[in-house]
Each structure stands twice: as C-alpha cells, then as structure tokens.
Amino acid sequence: MPSETAATVAHAMYTLVWFRQNLRIRDNAALCAAVAEGSPIIGIWIDDAETGNPRRTAFYRQSAAELAQVLAGRGIPLYTAASPAGLVRLAVRLNIRAVIADASHTFADKLADNALWHELDKHGIALTFVNDRSVFDNTDLIPDNGTAHTDFNRYREVWLDRFSKQPPAGPDLFAAYRQPFPENLSAPPPAALSDGIFLPQNGGETAAWRQWRRFLEQADSYSVLKDFPSRKNTSLMGAYLSAGCISPRLLARESLERRLNAWADNIIRRDFFLQLALQHADDAPSDGNLEHTLRLTLWQQGQTGIPIIDAAMRCLHKTGSLHPALKRLSADFFCHVLNLPRREGEIWFARQLTDFDAAINQGNWRLAASRHTCPDIAAASYRTDPNGTFIKRHIPELAHLSADTVHTPWRFACSVDTHGYPARPVAGV
C-alpha cells in the first residue's frame, strides 16, 4: 500500500473511506456511503502495530493486503497510516472533502473519534460514521428508558422481531462500482505481514467466505456439538468478524434463513455486547500483591493444576484462539476461584486472541464477573471434554492418563505420575 507521504493530488475532491474493522467490500456501509457522496474514492487503513497482540496485527495486515488488491481493481488506492494523525495529514495532502468510517463501539474509541473530528474540522473536512460492525446500530434497538439493553433475553427478543420486519442488509451500492485509478497515484503493493507469526487461519474476505461455506457443510450438528472443544464444530468466524472481513448482516440473514438459530444467537449476543460497551469506561489494571501476581502468572502459563483450565490457557497462548465454552470457563475460574480482578483477565485475552474485539472481550468478562457463583470446574471439565481429548492434546504431561483421572489428577496423586505437572491445584475446587 502507498505510504502517507504520497504526493498531493491536485484538482480533485475526494471522499476518504477509513477502513477500521470493516476490511471487506461486500455489504460495506462505508463504501456505499462514499458512492452516494458522488466524489472519487480513496481508502485508508491505520496499521496500529502497538497493540501488544502480534497475531491480531498479522491477521489484520493480511486482510488489508487483500483489500488493497481488490480495491485497486475498482480504481481505488488504499493508503496506510500509522495513527489518526497520519490520516489527518493524508486527508489534507490529498484534498479530501469528507472522511467516512465505520463507527466504533467502546468508550475509549469514541473519545479518540471526537479528537479526530476536531482535527479534521480545523481543515474543513467532514467526518461521518456508519455502522459496519454490527447487524443493528446502537440506536436501532433502544429500550423505552433510552439506555442500552442490559438483559440479553429481552434484547434477543427485540432483535429478532426487528430483523423479521426490517432486515438491515439491502442493495449494495458498491457492488458494481468502478472508477479510473488516479493517474498520479501508484498502485498499492500488498501489506507486509509480521515475521515469524503463525496464523491458523488466513485473513481476508475470500478466506472468510470460504470458512463460512465450510462451516455450513456441518452446521446441522452445531447445536449438538458446539460445546465440545475437541470436536472442532464451531464456525471459526470470530477473527473474520472482528476484522470485518465478512458482514455480520449477511451472516445473520444466511443463518436465520437456514434456521441455524443456535448459531445466530452468537451474532445477536455480539450485537448485545457492542451496544453495551459504550456504557462502560475501561477500568485501570490493579497493582496486585505478590500472591495476586503468582496466581495470575500460573493462570497465564497454564500451570494452575486444573487440567481443563491449563489446557485452555496453553491452547490460547499457542494458537491465539480458544473455544467459546473454554473462554467462559476460564473467565469464571479466574474471577470466582482465583478471585482475581476481571480487568487483568480481560487484558490478557486482549493480548492473545486473534479474534480480539474490545467491546466483545469487555462484555464477556463483565458477564463472567457479574455471575454470583462459579460452576463446578471438575464437573464442567467432564462435561465439555468427556474423554479428556482436549486436555491431553495441550498438556502432554497428562497424555498417558485415563479419562477417569485426567480431569482431576490431584485426586489420584499417590497412584499416577504427572511428569512435572502441578500435583495440587493452586486453589480449591
């Protein structure tokens, strides 16, 4: 992609589309809004590599590289900036009349958006936001009291009623769009990936649709097998939805048309967390004492002595992904067994998950912390991984144990060898 130091484009007024978490062209509301503006289009993507999450950075770069090539085929150059300040400089240099971006959903991002609006306004450049990250916008399903829905079951009911009457995915103004590629701008090369980063999934819109079609081939068994991590029967769409490589509106429509209601609940819950996120500012990380730090470290390293939790954390660190049932169980264990502050777990997941989305991560962790009781971890382990397949896959020290002992090896400490795995749990279960 061209750098933000490209020469000024003279004698033209452009609309700049800022791609954030909508790295696609199909059902892209920002691109459709730009077409409606009537001016030639230029794209920009901010490559924020300082997130502390190298897998997510690499996935986004790969997705942006494909987007750059597809946009170039429509006559649209895609620039890269390192920060919002770089976007402002580019907008001034390229004679931009308006910037259109997909709306953010967190308190911190909204503050940053306000600052960007003020900077662009100094140069007479308009900034407009559209919803590309959720099926329904934050304002679409506001309850009578004017604040966000806090009860998921009620939100789901309202969401489904609205969707049945007015599904949001409509005609795509960008589908047939073409423009002459600006003569004084060079064609964008692919973005560079982060060296040495292993990605279990390829980024980009093409890979997203391929994965969705693959999931649909086995989707009939989703409601039965979705809670068993070893069966690998989830859709694996999380990273694609986070980067916006695929439209949640289109996935909602397809899943409901196929009566995949159990899977469609994931999309609805995602919308639920996105509309809740603006109600909460991020808490500051706690300082913590020595015992606090020790328990946090053991959890992060998969050394708590609870096999299902440790297998989950090792899987997360190794692959950058984690089955939804294990995300919930790990968070419950963190908040209610280790008694650690929710924000510390939230930060760790933010650094590890390829499919990290700030609003979704925040929502899941707040939900875990708000539960009054923690599930029986041993019983949950037997339920989610009956044969111990997932545990043995990620904790080779226990691969020789039977299904009867692998979930709770400390109960058989006198008769089994755990090859260095902790003999006792860090906390009582």
Binding site residue list: 222, 263, 355-357
Q: How far apart are CA 143 and CA 157, in angstroms?
A: 12
Concatenating the DSSP letter of every residue in 119-159 gives HHHHTT-EEEEE--SSSS-TTTT--TTSS----HHHHHHHH
Helix (H, G, I), strand (E, B) or coil at 99: strand
Q: What Rg, from alpha-carbon coordinates, does the chain have?
A: 23
> Tokens 């694996």 map to which residue?
236
Q: How far apart are CA 280 and CA 37, in angstroms?
A: 34
- Helix and strand numbers, DSSP H then E, in the chain: 17, 5
All residues at 6 or more sequence positions from 1 whose CB lies less than 8 Å from its CB, including other chains: 45, 64, 65, 68, 77, 78, 79, 80, 188, 189, 190, 191
Q: List the binding residues for FAD.
A: 222, 263, 355-357
Query: Would you state the torsion angle of the CA atoms of residues 358, 359, 364, 370, taken in this order, to the nearest 10 degrees?
Result: 120
All residues at 6 or more sequence positions from 403 whose CB lies less than 8 Å from its CB, including other chains: 386, 387, 388
- Across 227-260, b (16+ Cβ under 10 Å) vs e yields bbbbbebbbbbbbbbbbbbbbbbbbbbbbbeeeb
